[in-house]
Amino acid sequence: MPERSRVAVLISGRGSNMAALIYAARADDCVYEVALVTGDKSDAHGLEVARAEGIAVVPLDARSLGPAFWGKLQHALESAGIDLIALAGFMRIIPDDFLAEWEGRIVNIHPSLLPKHKGLKTHEACLAAGETATGATVHIVSPDLDSGEILGQVKVAVLPSDTPETLAERVLIAEHQLYPRVVSQYLSRTNDFEWITERVGDLALALPKTHYQTSHGSPGWKVGSQSSSKFFAIMWNRHHGAESIGVLVKCSGQDEMAQLIEADPDIYFRPAYYGPSDWVGITLDRPRVDWEHVSDRCAQSWELVAPRRLLEAGGR
Ligand code: GRF
């Protein structure tokens, strides 16, 4: 089982979605663990539940902390090594600089079928609009309220007898099932070969005079003209019984390869059946890949194989 992603749940109140996320994470094959529960109200009922469940809680109070709140929150998240923030009834608008820091790594659940009925009083709005169905949505948090990329939705029928309260109650049941499922799916992308390959491709093709080509069926990237070019990065998809997905890049030789693997055996590997070549593997199906580092290694590999004239022309 690959390493689990670390999720922080941010709440302001009762925290029933938080509890749903915690209980789903108890399944042996769940891809995430709830590593932290925090929020903007130190007396939120959900914090008590989280504590009782043995989850790390950092009580923060935005009312008394004022502007210092966001810095304290950032510190708590960093100290806990958080990969993804799940908002669950967190009643505070997130400032743009905080959002930028966590871009694509904050999700929220909203009790309507977005883009319908954004904001508060969604069930009232749904009934007033005479809808026959509503539901819940999990989305990425972006600067515009309730408007980020939709990751998953579930539909709930509206009964003629529904009041905002009865509807909220049923939608909440749907929310509890939807949220853990969508969080798991979203986090699973870090183990997905296609997703990883796309990210490596973006880095590889950002280097000069590069193009895509397969090598024995594996996606790869070459430098040079189509007629005379050399591979500098090749994807590795659990080949030869190896467990990991990664990318192979050139290093300067056997000494460097041995040093890299010894210093970071969780990150670097010697690709089986490559013999004494200078290809070293970088494991990429992990929640916390340092993509800047991968980018640097791709660039170094590019430099090792790029034709002289490209290097002399200033390279990259
Ligand atoms: C939920 O309805 C959620 O969709 C909305 O706030 C409510 C939080 O409820 N964002 P709980 O605290 O998870 O019970």
Q: Is the pLDDT of residue 101 over 80?
A: yes
* Catalytically annotated residue among 75, 110, 176, 211: 110
Ligand 1 center to 53 CA (angstroms): 19
- Looking at residue 97, its pLDDT comes to 95
3-state helix, strand, coil in the chain (%, to 5): 40, 25, 35
Structure confidence by residue, pLDDT tens digits, 213-233: 999 999 999 999 877 899 999
Task: Annotate 254-310 with DSSP letters as a single string.
Answer: HHHHHHHHHH-TTTEEPPTT-TT-SEEEEE--STT--HHHHHHHHHHHHHHHS-HHH
Give the contacts of 126 (CB within 8 A, at least 6 positions apart). 112, 116, 117, 134, 158, 167
Residue nearest to atom 9 of ligand 1 (CA): 89
- Give the CB-side neighbour count of residue 130, counting CA atoms within 13 A: 0
110 in catalytic set: yes
Residue nearest to atom 8 of ligand 1 (CA): 89
- Looking at residue 226, its pLDDT comes to 73
Q: Which two structure tokens, joined as six digits, stand for 209? A: 């005079």
Structure confidence by residue, pLDDT tens digits, 117-159: 999 999 999 999 999 999 999 999 999 988 999 999 999 999 9
Percentage of residues of the chain with pLDDT beyond 90: 87
Closest alpha carbon to 304 in 272, 284, 279, 269: 279
- Looking at residue 1, its pLDDT comes to 62
Ligand 1 center to 16 CA (angstroms): 7
